[in-house]
Amino acid sequence: MKDEQIHSVIKTLRREIKQWAPPVVGVVAESEDPFLVLISTLLSLRTKDAVTDAASKKLFAAAKTPKAIAALDTLRLEKLIYPVCFYRVKARTLKNVCGLLLERHGGKVPDTLEELLELPGVGRKTANLTVTLGFGKPGICVDIHVHRISNRLGYVKTKTPDETEDALRAKLPKKYWLEYNDLLVPYGQNLCQPVSPWCSKCAIRPACRRVGVTRSR
């Protein structure tokens, strides 16, 4: 894909994703509460959106502040977030994160990547989503969908999500940073899938080099 084609691709993606439900973390972000964004993102790791949505709602109905979650018994917390993947590990992570937020940050979520990455269980995906969706600050969240589609388009040529983030920071126009993840995640979940993507239905196919695609529908 030619670099200048990204503008038309973004415009097309904005139109196309309206047919699908937005990612659950994006819905949580409408609360304008960075803490809820951080927690729901931690719950979403390796977990389907529908499961994340149910677990987030159940948890936030019982506790939605660092102090309240830190005070929960671990077993109670596990039951609240079940059946997210690795729910036992995530329950401990949530308690540790909330404890550190209270201890080091006065119960507030930090708004920088550097400080967020110091929290247990917080990687670059979680930190970037919290910065962009929680605070509206520039950042590029790269999950497996963003990594795969950016490479499949031929817009970047990278081997890992971290490399993709660096490449996108260098070439993706900054005005698209905040929405890039929200555009590519539903597109990757519903159409540009890892195996046998729906190329016949893809509105951005004319710009796509289909890198690595050996079979499609």
Domain that holds residue 101: 24-135
pTM: 0.90
DSSP states along 50-116: HHHHHHHHHHHHH--SHHHHHTS-HHHHHHHHTTSTTHHHHHHHHHHHHHHHHHHHTTPPP-SHHHH
Kindly state whether residues 145 and 112 are assigned to the same domain. no
> Are 8 and 176 contacting, i.e. CB atoms less than 8 angstroms apart?
no
Check residues 23 and 176 and name the one with the higher pLDDT.
176
> Are 8 and 41 within one domain?
no
Single out the residue in 135, 165, 199 at which a domain terminates. 135
| Mean pLDDT of the region 100-122 | 97
Instruction: Specify the CATH number for the domain of residue 90.
Output: 1.10.340.30
Same domain, 155 and 117: no
Instruction: Read off the pLDDT of residues 4-29 as tens digits, 9 standing for 90 and up.
Output: 999 999 999 999 999 998 888 888 98
CA torsion sign, 79 to 83 to 89 to 90? Answer: negative
The CATH number linked to 168 is 1.10.1670.10
Q: Using one digit for the tens of pLDDT, what is the confidence trace for 49-75?
A: 999 999 999 999 999 999 999 999 999
197 within some domain: yes
Residues 56 and 125 in one domain: yes
Is 102 within a domain? yes
- Domain finish residue from 135, 152, 171: 135
Do 14 and 80 lie in one domain? The reply is: no
Q: Give the span between the Cα atoms of 131 and 109, in whole angstroms.
A: 10
Nearby residues of 172 by Cβ (< 8 Å), 6 or more positions away: 6, 140, 155, 180
Q: Total domain count for the chain?
A: 2
CB 116 within 8 A of CB 125: no
Last residue of a domain, one of 102, 119, 135: 135
Q: Residue 112 corresponds to which amino acid?
A: T
Query: Helix, strand or coil for residue 128?
Result: helix
Q: Is 106 left (phi over 0), alpha (psi -120 to 50) or beta?
A: left
pLDDT band at residue 136 under the 50/70/90 scheme = very high
Is residue 51 within 8 A of residue 80, CB to CB? The reply is no
| Residues 51, 39: Cα–Cα separation, whole Å | 14
Residues 36 and 104 in one domain: yes
**Whether residues 170 and 189 fall in one domain:** yes
